Structure 1
Amino acid sequence: MPSIRTRGIIEYDTIIRREGKGLLCGVDEAGRGPIAGPVVAAAVIFSDDIYIEGVYDSKKVTRKRREELYEEITSQALSWGVGIIDNRQIDELNILNATKEAMNIAISRLKEVPGVIIADGNFYFNPIAEVRNVIKADEKSFSVAAASIIAKVTRDRIMCEYENRFPNYSFSHHKGYGTQNHIEEIIEFGYTEIHRRSFKLKAVQGELF
């Protein structure tokens, strides 16, 4: 029996499915705000009878639980896909366009074709389905919440791998966000090849330039 919160986000999706417009796909991203690393998007489609207890906005779920939910989601989803845009592409496209591209890639990797796409934010996708942009969709839609977890876990794993390549940077902790610790690392060791040059911080520019 799902909890009240889980029932709420499942019911949101169920109401949309009852419209009879085809498979429902939730899309979300992780990594728009950091100054290093990629932006990652995920797209998820579930069959009507699936629910996974604890699926919610990835930012409000513990790291350990996110990892557990990732395994449950990817094993039980009807279809899911991930799109990754690296820092160089972010600098070329800008973060908004890079996020859209990551989402389009994630959708293109689905094995099923959705009839309705719910996205957290205001995004336009390749016109394969009706798109509904919903504010805080990761707190309202089960499918979007699941996508947020896949995107977050995927990106966190990438950043942990980067720490092995760049041991002077605590990427497994700050995940590339502009924390005070990260800024101090940049001031001491400089930018790495995974830093977003278009995201330069004034505090860092004052020390390096």
Structure 2
Amino acid sequence: MPLSTSEETHHWTTHQRVCGIDEAGRGPLAGPVVAAAVVFPRHFTPSSAFSALGDSKAMSARNRERLTSLIMEHAEACAVAVIDNTTIDRINIFQATMLAMNQAAETITPLPSLLLIDGNRFNPALPIPYRTIVKGDAKVFSIAAASVLAKTTRDRLMRDAAELYPEYGFEQHFGYPTRAHTEAIRRHGRSPFHRQSFRLRQLGEK
């Protein structure tokens, strides 16, 4: 069943600017974590063109790219924040994810009046009310839109990294710990784009 803006509709009665936030890239061994924030116009009703919107990980790359264009066209505001792998190593992936989400929210102008966050944890940097929603990218329209923007942005960055480090195949696994990626690390070691703090049991790392 296509996602509707029913969750947003509930909050639009008391909030002018409801913002969905999601991230991409918590689990990979390489590359940044990326968060996106999306605000749709109050009482926005999505057309049938948005019927494929949902959890971005379950979509084809072609659908994600198509939906990215639609989201950018119809959103009232959207923002993306990128936290690189060296920062992830320095502050840990959870803190880096929180930083990315907050930076994306802070970039929205004017600021949102409510944040809808995918997941069950959030550390806010601004005094803005928020709700965490488990599996929100499959339930909430604006969170799903943020999920798509975050993933398409990160995928493009990983394709760029593949040109610098072709031996790792980033354009195929996007930094996740696939067998091919693990074998590439075994052969070549880690690149400057890898997260040095992430360990691989397959390689005997502790």
1:30-179 equivalences in 2 (<5 Å): 30-47=24-41, 48-51=43-46, 52-121=50-119, 122-179=121-178
Give 1:185's aligned residue: 184
The one-letter code of the counterpart of 1:153 is T
Give 1:12's aligned residue: 7
User: Displacement of 1:13 after TM fit?
Assistant: 1.5
What CA RMSD, in Å, does the superposition of the two structures yield over aligned residues? Answer: 1.4
Q: Which one is further off, 29-38 or 114-123?
A: 114-123
Deviations 1:25-65 (A, max 9, x none): 00000000000000000000000224233221101211100
User: Displacement of 1:128 after TM fit?
Assistant: 3.5
Q: Which one is further off, 91-100 or 103-112?
A: 103-112
Matched residue of 1:112: which SS? coil
Deviations 1:81-131 (A, max 9, x none): 111001100000100000000111111111221111000121121233111
The one-letter code of the counterpart of 1:127 is L
Deviations 1:139-198 (A, max 9, x none): 111000000000000000000000000011110110000111000000111100011011
User: Displacement of 1:73 after TM fit?
Assistant: 0.5
**Separation in 1 of the partners of 2:202 and 2:51?**
43
CA contact (8 A) 1:124 1:131 kept: no
In structure 1, the gaps of 5 or more residues are: none
The one-letter code of the counterpart of 1:39 is V
Matched residue of 1:197: which SS? coil
In structure 2, the gaps of 5 or more residues are: none
CA contact (8 A) 1:35 1:195 kept: yes
**Separation in 2 of the partners of 1:204 and 1:193?**
18
CA contact (8 A) 2:158 2:171 kept: yes
Q: Which one is further off, 92-101 or 195-204?
A: 195-204
Identity of aligned residues (%): 39
TM-score relative to the length of structure 1: 0.92
CA contact (8 A) 2:3 2:140 kept: no
**Separation in 2 of the partners of 1:176 and 1:202?**
16
CA contact (8 A) 1:114 1:128 kept: no
User: Displacement of 1:75 after TM fit?
Assistant: 1.7
CA contact (8 A) 1:25 1:45 kept: yes
**Separation in 1 of the partners of 2:157 and 2:107?**
19
The one-letter code of the counterpart of 1:173 is Q
Give the number of aligned pairs.
201
**Separation in 2 of the partners of 1:142 and 1:129?**
20
